[in-house]
């Protein structure tokens, strides 16, 4: 597939467009569940225990959203993709409330935003298919960009191209999960979308 065949970009939020802002170990300890966090919480029986777990998570998310900082290059990458008429989306396992707070705080504009409140969470493929349908592109014409294995697995499950933002560190899971592209910095993404 040629670079120019990529027609849309789907970004993870925490750790990708922003610097990592959620302390998952602290959240797991506060709730008393194991990894993966959302799946463990959803395995709790409906009722007080699950409600308590999501209340704790949403508290952490609200606090983290207020303190969030943009990743280096995030604003410029989004602006340059917009100039090149490449539609962008955010797909996150965070709540809609905290996600909207982060986007508002930093003035980030994307065409579509899907959260765990809107669709099954990554690594499920359905939200990526929903985004591709909104953009009118095939999954193979979209690129899922994230900093964690669930981002890459979601893209692979949906049939999109994938790019892992490494921040200069190669995670151990790269031996088993191979993204199509490795990005040391967010700005490296722009090389996949040459300007005309």
For the chain, domain boundaries: 3-20+69-192, 24-67
Q: Does residue 94 register a pLDDT over 50?
A: yes
126-162: per-residue pLDDT in tens? 999 999 999 999 999 999 999 999 999 999 999 999 9
Q: Does residue 2 register a pLDDT over 90?
A: no
Residue 162: both structure tokens together: 């994938």
40-89: per-residue pLDDT in tens? 888 899 999 999 999 999 999 999 999 999 999 999 999 999 999 999 99
- Binned at pLDDT 50, 70 and 90, residue 4 comes out as low
Which pLDDT score is estimated for 165?
A: 97
11-23: per-residue pLDDT in tens? 999 999 999 878 8
Class for the domain spanning 3-20+69-192: alpha beta
Which pLDDT score is estimated for 35?
A: 85
156-190: per-residue pLDDT in tens? 999 999 999 999 998 989 888 999 999 999 999 99
């Amino acid at each position: 597939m040629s670079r120019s065949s990529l027609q849309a970009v789907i970004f993870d939020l925490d750790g990708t467009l922003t610097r990592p802002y959620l302390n998952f170990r602290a959240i797991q300890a506060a709730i008393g569940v194991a990894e993966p966090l959302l799946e463990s919480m959803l395995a709790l029986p409906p009722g007080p225990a699950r409600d308590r777990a999501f209340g704790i998570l949403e508290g952490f998310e609200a606090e983290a959203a207020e303190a969030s900082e943009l990743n280096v290059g995030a604003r410029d990458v989004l602006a340059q993709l917009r100039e090149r008429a490449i539609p962008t989306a955010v797909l996150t396992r965070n709540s809609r409330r905290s996600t909207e707070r982060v986007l508002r705080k930093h003035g980030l504009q994307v065409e579509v935003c899907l959260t765990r409140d809107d669709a099954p969470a990554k690594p499920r493929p359905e939200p990526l298919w929903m985004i591709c349908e909104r953009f009118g592109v095939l999954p193979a014409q979209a690129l899922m960009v994230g900093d964690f294995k669930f981002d890459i697995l979601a893209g692979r499950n949906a049939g999109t191209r994938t790019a892992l933002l490494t921040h200069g560190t190669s995670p151990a899971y790269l031996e088993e999960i191979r993204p199509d592209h490795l990005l040391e910095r967010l700005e490296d993404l722009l090389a996949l979308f040459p300007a005309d």
